Amino acid sequence: MKEKFVKYETLLLETDGHLLTVTMNRPEAGNALNTQMLTEMVDFFGNIYVDPGTTRCVILTGAGDRIFCAGGDLKERKGMTDEAWRRQHALSEQLIRHIRDCPVPIVAAVNGAAFGGGCELVLGADFAYGADTAKFALTEVTLGIIPGTGGTQNLPRAVGLRRAKEIALTGLPFTAAQALDWGVLNKVCSLSALPEEAKAIAQRICDNAPVAIRQAKKSLNAASDLDFSSGYRFELEAYYRTIPTKDRLEGVLAFNEKRKARFTGE
């Protein structure tokens, strides 16, 4: 996997077995999403969608200890024509679709401020752990636009419609503790403990059966889009895909032999 992505200039990639950590690496600009970073993230997640290889889980984080991602790069956007803005935003649209459709789970490790598009990346991940110093906001309405990277769809799914309206219509920031209470974060820990906490939960995912993880993720995503009857039919289709796998046999055998299962993704 590492050799496949050596061309990236704004992303740092680190593999540890089946775990791949992606670090947005523009700390001097608050890890803001400029055209280059968006292009590289679209390429990365597009490649993962086509062929995750041996990767079973992705951690998404930001460089430094203050900012996860400050959102769109407003310095680059200053003076942008309407056409250039639309072309750049098309990358954001592709990115959030790739993230949602990513076959392997994505865990956000929020090491600092996640504003605008940065907050939308957190909401787009499968779930998120955050440092107690992290802050969040959807600030788009203060800039004359609205969230456009899935924010108006993913936020109410996480926090409920009325809370989402308060967040999106005011643009006011909220704390890590509030993010945990409202459902944006799954866990809050110290900044120093965050990398290991995120790695531990991601490694737990990596240790489980890869086909089962992918099928479960697809079925869970469908739950927010479908009524129960349709969603359950989707679940059963996903379930029956796991039955002929070698990992299903290995899981049952390991349970009966009282040992840890050794899953291969077959």
Q: Contact at 8 Å (CB) between 247 and 263?
A: yes
Helix (H) or strand (E) holding 131: strand 127-131
CA 253/CA 260 separation, integer angstroms: 10
**Cα Rg of the chain (Å, integer):** 19
Distance set, CA 136 to CA 41, 61, 67, 177, 185 (Å): 21, 14, 10, 11, 10
Sheet with 113-115, side-by-side order of all strands: 67-69, 113-115, 135-137, 174-175
CA 265/CA 245 separation, integer angstroms: 8
| Alpha helices, DSSP H, located in the chain | 35-50, 74-77, 82-101, 117-124, 151-159, 161-170, 176-182, 194-206, 210-223, 228-242, 246-256
Q: Which of 184, 203, 197 is nearest to 135 (CA)?
A: 184
Indicate if the alpha-carbon torsion angle 123, 147, 41, 10 is positive or negative: negative
Q: Contact at 8 Å (CB) between 115 and 136?
A: yes
pLDDT at 68: 98
0.85 exceeded by pTM: yes
Q: Contact at 8 Å (CB) between 217 and 105?
A: yes
Q: Residue 245 contacts by C-beta under 8 Å, 6 or more apart in sequence? A: 209, 211, 212, 266
- Give yes or no: 140 in active site: yes
Q: Which of 257, 125, 149, 148 is nearest to 198 (CA)?
A: 125
pLDDT at 6: 58
Q: How confident is the prediction along the chain (266 residues), in pLDDT tens digits per residue?
A: 444 555 799 999 999 999 999 999 999 999 999 999 999 999 999 999 999 999 999 999 999 999 999 999 888 889 989 998 899 999 999 999 999 999 999 999 999 999 999 999 999 999 999 999 999 999 999 999 999 999 999 999 999 999 999 999 999 999 999 999 999 999 999 999 999 999 999 999 999 999 999 999 999 999 989 999 999 999 999 988 999 999 999 998 999 999 999 999 89
Which residue segments constitute the domains of the chain, with CATH numbers given?
3-206 (3.90.226.10), 210-256 (1.10.12)
**Active-site pick, 40, 83, 120, 196:** 120
Identify the three-state secondary structure at position 142. helix
**Active-site pick, 3, 93, 140, 196:** 140
Strands 127-131 vs 106-110: parallel, antiparallel or unpaired: parallel
